[in-house]
């Protein structure tokens, strides 16, 4: 994408993701939310519940990206270590956020639930962090400088992501257009490469849709210049015709 785009990375934390016992349902929502805000998701890492791995990933990515989003590891159990690891990454003390703790205690009391030490761990944040409150849960995520720490439970993560988006600096809108045709990727590859090389200001993606030898391909163009995106789509349509293919859909 163009150099002026604001960049982001996602760090998906959890042994359950790496073992395959839980299927990630968060990445698509994060990527789509960022795209709609004009922010380019450049990198995604899936890492275990290991403090050294979390610290290393967060410190590497926050230095090279405008924003970093983590998911997972902020619950009440022993393997929920993300908050303390973010504190370590920033060289800050892990503290109990007073306002969050008060809100949580009041909520638990209203539900007849004990505000035990395990539940109250969810009020812990690095010193200096700001809560990212959400409509789904009394427990917030938090922001530490350019790092946003979100829940792993998809419904809660989505609510936290929705709350985080208005806090972000937005980039230029990213426009997307696509053409679906009845050719194979192998037939299109050389011509697509020529079009991409001639238009470095856009990204061209090729995605086979058919299970049977892919005579059904979606070609997607993304960029920050709406007119250029349309121009590239027109060039792809011409290529399809030159290859004796047919356009099945155009969006």
Q: Is the pLDDT of residue 1 over 60?
A: no
Condensed to tens digits (0 to 9), the pLDDT of residues 191-201 reads: 999 999 999 99
Burial class (CB in 10 A: 0-12, 13-18, 19+), 112: exposed
Residue ranges covered by each domain of the chain: 6-167, 175-250
Q: How confident is the model at residue 5 (pLDDT cuts 50, 70, 90)?
A: confident
Rounded to whole angstroms, the Cα distance separating 157 from 57 reads 20
Condensed to tens digits (0 to 9), the pLDDT of residues 7-25 reads: 999 999 999 999 999 999 9
Q: Which residues pair with 26 in a beta bridge?
A: none
> What is the average pLDDT score of the chain?
94
Q: Kindly compute the dihedral angle of the four CA atoms of residues 155, 160, 166, 167, in this order, to the nearest 10 degrees.
A: -160
Task: Give percent above pLDDT 70 in the chain.
Answer: 97
Rounded to whole angstroms, the Cα distance separating 217 from 208 reads 4
Q: Which CATH superfamily is domain 175-250 in?
A: EIF_2_alpha (3.30.70.1130)
Q: Is the pLDDT of residue 171 over 60?
A: yes
DSSP the chain: --TTSEEEEEEEE-HHHHHTSS---SHHHHHHHHHHTTEEEEEEEEE-S-HHHHHHHHHHHHHHSSEEEEES--SSSTT--HHHHHHHHHT--EEE-HHHHHHHHHHHHHTT----HHHHGGGEEETT-EEE--SS-SS-EEEETTEEEE-SSHHHHHHHHHHHGGGSPP-S--EEEEEEESS-HHHHHHHHHHHHHH-TTEEEEEEE--SSTT--EEEEEEES-HHHHHHHHHHHHHHHHHTT--EEEE-
Domain spanning 6-167: which CATH class is it, in words?
Answer: alpha beta
pLDDT score, position 213: 63
pLDDT score, position 126: 98
pLDDT score, position 99: 96
pLDDT score, position 4: 61
Condensed to tens digits (0 to 9), the pLDDT of residues 90-113 reads: 999 999 999 999 999 999 999 999
Task: Give percent above pLDDT 90 in the chain.
Answer: 90
Condensed to tens digits (0 to 9), the pLDDT of residues 208-232 reads: 987 666 689 999 999 989 999 999 9
pLDDT score, position 28: 97
CB atoms closer than 10 angstroms to residue 16: 16
- Give me the half-sphere count of Cα atoms (radius 13 Å) on the Cβ side of residue 24: 22
pTM score: 0.86
């Amino acid at each position: 994408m163009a150099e002026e785009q604001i960049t982001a990375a996602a760090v998906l934390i959890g042994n359950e993701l790496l073992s395959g016992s839980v299927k990630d349902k968060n990445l698509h929502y994060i990527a789509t939310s960022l795209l709609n805000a004009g922010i380019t998701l450049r990198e995604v890492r899936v890492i275990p519940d290991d403090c050294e791995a979390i610290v290393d990933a967060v410190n590497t990515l926050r230095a090279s990206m405008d924003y970093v989003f983590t998911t997972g590891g902020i619950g009440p159990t022993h393997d929920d270590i993300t908050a303390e690891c973010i504190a370590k990454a920033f060289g800050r003390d892990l503290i109990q956020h007073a306002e969050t703790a008060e809100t949580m205690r009041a909520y638990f009391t209203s539900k007849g639930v004990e505000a035990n030490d395990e539940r109250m761990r969810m009020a812990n944040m690095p010193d200096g962090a700001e809560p990212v409150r959400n409509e789904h849960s009394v427990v917030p995520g938090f922001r530490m400088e350019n790092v946003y720490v979100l829940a792993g439970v998809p419904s809660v993560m989505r609510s936290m992501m929705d709350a985080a988006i208005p806090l972000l600096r937005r980039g230029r809108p990213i426009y997307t257009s696509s053409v679906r045709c009845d050719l194979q990727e192998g037939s299109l590859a050389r011509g697509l490469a020529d079009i991409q090389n001639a238009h470095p200001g856009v990204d061209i993606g090729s995605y086979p849709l058919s299970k049977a030898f892919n005579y059904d391909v979606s070609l997607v163009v993304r960029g920050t210049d709406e007119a250029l995106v349309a121009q590239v789509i027109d060039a792809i349509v011409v290529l399809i015709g030159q290859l004796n293919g047919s356009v099945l859909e155009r969006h």
